Homo-oligomer: A and B are copies of this chain.
Amino acid sequence: MRLSARELLILFCVGAAGGLIGDAGHVQAGTTTYLDDETPFVWESALWFPILVGLATASLGELRLRLGPSRPGFDSQAGIGAIAAVLALYAVTALVYDEPEGPATTLVVMLAVLIAAWLGGGRPALVCGLAAAVVGPAAEILIVELDLAEYASSADSLFGVALWLPALYFAFGYVAAQLAELLAARRPT
């Protein structure tokens, strides 16, 4: 592994916490509804959701460092900004889910592209963004197929999940990649 156990744990915890905050917004707004009543819940989320997001964050971070050398010179402020950006986008999706799908999707896609262009990171970050944009929605489609959760009828046109969901995961992949770079840049040399 390119990330140490401690670094993987940090990414897992950041991802799980972010997933909890973002998912609470989706549940409170009515964007998504859990149908699973057998799993224990944490705040508004079934326990497995923040665990999956935490695992995805750590996996994307590991993937990032395997794809190439990380950029130097990151500070924690850049990491905080990146986390805030994707959580703001997560909240935007909660607030626009019942707006007309066209402009809502355009807004989320363009904000995701803006976050990616802002964070940069070249081809490795792009691969992480695209991997997240494919795997994340695929996992959520499976969750919907298994009747564990559902999206509101105004936001379920992508095989049961929202059309803007790949864009949200795309931004998430960029942020996870940047956090891995930040962790690598903080290592004593």
Residues of chain A whose beta carbon lies under 8 Å from any beta carbon of chain B: 21-22, 24-26, 28-30, 44, 77-78, 80-81, 84-85, 87-88, 90-92, 94-96, 99-104, 106-107, 110-111, 113-114, 117-118, 120
Contact = CB atoms under 8 A, between A and B. Distances in A.
8 contacts: A77-B120, A84-B110, A90-B106, A91-B107, A91-B110, A94-B102, A94-B103, A95-B104
B107 A88 contact: yes
Judged by DSSP, the binding face of A is helix
A29 B81 contact: no
Contact of A84 (B28, B30, B102, B113): B113
Given A81-B113, A113-B84, A117-B80, A28 B91 contact: no
A87 B110 contact: yes
B84 A114 contact: yes
A44 B24 CA distance: 35
A87 B167 CA distance: 15
Contacts of A90: 106
A91 B118 contact: no
Contacts of A29: 99-100, 102-103
A32 to B, nearest CB: 12
